[in-house]
């Protein structure tokens, strides 16, 4: 009953096999391995972006921060959701990698709306040289709360950014989960919707530790390479990053794994909806749910060995009926029996 995160599960067997197959003889280091050629070609095909620059790093924070650093000068500010990973979960890595750019929070909700984005950008940047300059807009797809921007929303948000001549970065640590939920093409969800720089996640969806950064406009490619090296994120034995990503892309594994992760969440959510004492906080459409459960239920689950994050509230409190907010995350590897066992424990 592991719902703690999509980074606690195992690596997909096809990816482990690919690593074993890559482990043969000698290979040129630092991204010049033949598998990287395959990765680059495949990602360009998948994204219908033959000119895009494509790079691999090992962590999602590195992907976000190196991508942002190429488009956010240190005197600028990045517009993002108050729940954005770059704001809450990267220990000032964006500030570090950009050389001190600021993050301006857009509104108070998880999902950014075009209206609030416009108002925030308009308010920021009225002070000439004194204030931070308007920089890129960063969108998280799927969000940290498991929500998804549909294509119209993405287009509207990008239009606001474009009106102010600002680039758009997408934190796609859960890109695949969003894509299969929307049932659109990768191009539709990115450059056709105005995205300039993408973090294309692999780690949370079955890889060991690999993320692609895609610069749809390759003008900053060399700068990215320098920043990656300077950030200590250029792997010498790069073939083992390439092998993961190549296997992830082969045979549609990336979409299949995301479909399974989302289906697992759908099964869980369907069960939770049937419980009177459970209240869902968001409409879960990908592989994350936030739910309010009575304290007694939360305790029962924890005692039975379920793993998840208690987001709000104190498990040790007295009143057994007080609702606590918990976060539930599913990945591809979660057995349906475990989901059902969890649901059994959430009996009213």
Q: Which is nearer to a copy of itself, 114 or 231 (CB)?
A: 231
Q: Which is nearer to a copy of itself, 158 or 257 (CB)?
A: 257
User: Shortest gap between Cβ of 169 and a copy of itself (angstroms)?
Assistant: 15
User: Shortest gap between Cβ of 249 and a copy of itself (angstroms)?
Assistant: 19
Q: Which is nearer to a copy of itself, 182 or 241 (CB)?
A: 241
In eight-state DSSP terms, residue 25 is S
Locate 260 and state its tokens: 């399974």
User: Shortest gap between Cβ of 99 and a copy of itself (angstroms)?
Assistant: 4
User: Shortest gap between Cβ of 277 and a copy of itself (angstroms)?
Assistant: 26
Q: Which is nearer to a copy of itself, 90 or 196 (CB)?
A: 90
With H, G, I as helix, E, B as strand and everything else as coil, classify residue 79: strand
Helical H segments across the chain, by residue range: 13-22, 34-46, 60-69, 85-88, 93-98, 114-123, 151-163, 175-182, 186-189, 221-230, 239-249, 253-273, 295-303, 336-345
User: Shortest gap between Cβ of 77 and a copy of itself (angstroms)?
Assistant: 8
User: Shortest gap between Cβ of 9 and a copy of itself (angstroms)?
Assistant: 6
User: Shortest gap between Cβ of 98 and a copy of itself (angstroms)?
Assistant: 8
Please list, residue by residue across 32-62, b when 16 or more beta carbons sit within 10 angstroms of its beta carbon and e when fewer do: ebebbebbbebbbebbebeebbbbbbbbbbb
Beta sheet of 323-329, edge-to-edge order: 279-280, 288-294, 323-329, 309-312
Q: Which is it for strands 279-280 and 211-215: parallel, antiparallel or unpaired?
A: unpaired
Q: Which is nearer to a copy of itself, 24 or 303 (CB)?
A: 24
Distance (Å, whole) CA 52 – CA 148: 24
User: CB within 8 A of 127, min separation 6: which ones?
Assistant: none
Q: Which is nearer to a copy of itself, 158 or 244 (CB)?
A: 244
Locate 295 and state its tokens: 């304290």
User: Shortest gap between Cβ of 228 and a copy of itself (angstroms)?
Assistant: 8
User: CB within 8 A of 67, min separation 6: which ones?
Assistant: 169, 197, 198, 199, 213, 215, 224
Q: Which is nearer to a copy of itself, 124 or 196 (CB)?
A: 124
In eight-state DSSP terms, residue 11 is P
Distance (Å, whole) CA 210 – CA 241: 6
Q: Which is nearer to a copy of itself, 23 or 344 (CB)?
A: 23
């Amino acid at each position: 009953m592991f719902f703690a995160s999509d980074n606690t599960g195992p690596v997909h067997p096809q990816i482990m096999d690919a690593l074993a197959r890559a482990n043969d003889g000698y290979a040129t280091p630092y991204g010049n391995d033949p598998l990287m050629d395959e990765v680059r070609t495949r990602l360009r095909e998948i994204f219908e972006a033959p000119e895009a620059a494509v790079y691999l790093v090992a962590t999602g924070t590195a992907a976000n921060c190196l991508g942002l650093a190429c488009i956010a000068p240190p005197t600028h500010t990045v517009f993002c959701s108050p729940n954005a990973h770059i704001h809450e979960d990267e220990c000032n890595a964006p500030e570090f990698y950009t050389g001190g750019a600021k993050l301006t929070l857009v509104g108070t909700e998880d999902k950014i709306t075009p209206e609030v984005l416009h108002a925030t950008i308009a308010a920021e940047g009225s002070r000439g040289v004194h204030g931070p300059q308007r920089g890129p807009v960063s969108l998280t797809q799927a969000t940290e709360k498991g929500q998804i921007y549909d294509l119209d929303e993405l287009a509207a948000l990008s239009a606001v950014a474009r009106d102010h001549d600002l680039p758009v970065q997408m934190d796609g640590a859960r890109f695949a989960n969003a894509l299969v939920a929307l049932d659109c093409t990768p191009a539709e969800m990115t450059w056709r919707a105005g995205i300039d720089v993408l973090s294309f996640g692999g780690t949370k969806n079955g890889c060991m530790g690999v993320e692609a950064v895609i610069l749809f406009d390759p003008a900053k490619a060399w700068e990215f390479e320098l920043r990656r090296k300077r950030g200590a994120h250029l792997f010498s034995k790069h073939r083992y990053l390439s092998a993961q990503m190549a296997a992830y892309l082969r045979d549609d594994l990336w979409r299949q794994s995301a479909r399974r992760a989302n289906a697992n969440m759908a099964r869980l959510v369907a069960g939770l909806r049937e419980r009177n004492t459970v209240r869902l906080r968001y409409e879960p459409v990908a592989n994350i749910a936030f739910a309010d459960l009575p304290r007694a239920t939360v305790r029962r689950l924890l005692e039975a060995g379920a793993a998840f994050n208690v987001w709000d509230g104190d498990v040790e409190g007295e009143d057994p009926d007080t609702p606590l907010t918990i976060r539930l995350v599913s990945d591809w590897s979660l057995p349906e029996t475990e989901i059902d066992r969890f649901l059994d424990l959430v009996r009213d």
